[in-house]
Amino acid sequence: MRCRRCKDKAVIYIERHNAAFCENCFLHYYYNQVDKNIKREKMFKKGEKILVVVSGGKDSMALWDVLNKNGYDVTAMYINLGIGDYSNRSQEIVENYAEERKLPLIIKNIKKEYGLEIGKISKKLKRSPCSICGTIKRYLFNKVALDGGFTTVATGHNLDDEAATLLGNTLNWQEGYLARQAPVLPSTHPKLVKKVKPLFTLTERENLSYILFNGIKFIHDECPHAVGASSILYKEVLNKLEEKSPGTKQRFLINFLEKGRKHFQDVREELDLKECKICGQVTTTEICSFCRLVEISHS
Ligand code: SF4
Ligand code: ZN
């Protein structure tokens, strides 16, 4: 098979675009896709201070690398979630990447800094580790961005993640989540920072190819808490559909964003936002859910 752009020998075929690329032309396609997403969705501009959240996995490492190469002003943030060996190895990968390229990196450690342990809290509250983890991550993304003067938080969510989330929200008719699912979550309060997903049209496979072609190290394992998550089942189902009908995931997501999402806007509740009495971050209750987790873990 020949590369669509330069007619050299192709190394990757992207079925949904019916296009094959050599390594160089794939990277050209990848840079363009990310830049197009950033511009079309008005995510951010050159010169703005962007906080990119990295986990050490292929998607966030690809995002960090491509934003740097495309000339954006990015600082990375890694959160050590205290998930055993998985957290230690992923922190090492992220630190090495930053050190080798002399890039700015902020490290947060939820156990050392806040005394938080996801496993213990999850058992105490009988809530899934992922829901505790989600609360902690959302809080820190916003707090670190706000304290550091960043205009935007960028995450490595890819097309597979977004299509699986959409499938889950649709199967359960989660109208509120459907109203909010978008590649850009604008700020709705002066103390809430905008969140964006520049890789939302790129698949896991494309992010992996980008990482491999660039020789970037990443953590291959999934977080141990991801086992059995319904998102994995949704991804498997979507992969089966994609196999039979290439482009299904992209059509499902993009058509929802363009045609479906608007029908859910009237279910968006006007939230009564206030500042947490303990930490001052934005919340809908007197004390924010993060500060409540800190209190619970010390009780
Ligand atoms: Fe957190 Fe769950 Fe993701 Fe692990 S799988 S990083 S616990 S959200
Ligand atoms: Zn608080």
> pLDDT value at position 127?
92
> pLDDT value at position 228?
78
pLDDT band for 298, please (50, 70, 90 cuts).
confident
Indicate whether 172 belongs to any domain.
yes
Say what percent of the chain tops pLDDT 90: 93
> pLDDT value at position 151?
96
In sequence order, the 6+-apart residues with CB closer than 8 A to the CB of 232 are 226
Indicate whether 265 belongs to any domain.
yes
What are the φ/ψ torsions at residue 72 (nearest 5 degrees)?
A: -85, 155
Indicate whether 278 belongs to any domain.
no
Task: Using the mean position of ligand 2's atoms as its centre, give its distance from the Cα of residue 278 in Å.
Answer: 5
Ligand 1 atom with minimal separation from the 129 CA: 7
Ligand 1: residues whose CB is within 6 Å? 81, 129-130, 133-134, 223, 225-226
CATH number at residue 142: 3.40.50.620
Average pLDDT for 248-255: 98
> pLDDT value at position 265?
87
Annotated binding site for Zn(2+): 3, 6, 22, 25, 276, 279, 288, 291
Indicate whether 252 belongs to any domain.
yes
Q: Are 184 and 261 in contact (CB under 8 A)?
A: no
Rg (CA), the chain: 20
Indicate whether 292 belongs to any domain.
no
Average pLDDT for 184-197: 96
Does pLDDT of 101 surpass 90? yes
Summary mean pLDDT of the chain = 95
Indicate whether 80 belongs to any domain.
yes
What are the φ/ψ torsions at residue 113 (nearest 5 degrees)?
A: -85, -30
CB atoms within 10 A of CB 114: 18
Ligand 1 atom with minimal separation from the 223 CA: 4
> pLDDT value at position 169?
96
Indicate whether 17 belongs to any domain.
no
For ligand 1, pick from 122, 128, 223 the residue to mutate: most ligand atoms within 8 Å of CB: 223
* Number of separate domains in the chain: 1
> pLDDT value at position 227?
83
Q: Are 251 and 259 in contact (CB under 8 A)?
A: no
Indicate whether 164 belongs to any domain.
yes
- The protein residue whose alpha carbon is closest to atom 7 in ligand 1 is 130
Average pLDDT for 3-16: 96
> pLDDT value at position 229?
85
> pLDDT value at position 299?
82
Average pLDDT for 78-100: 97
> pLDDT value at position 172?
95
Print the domain residue range for 152. Answer: 44-269
Angle at 79 between CA 76 and CA 82, to 5 degrees: 155
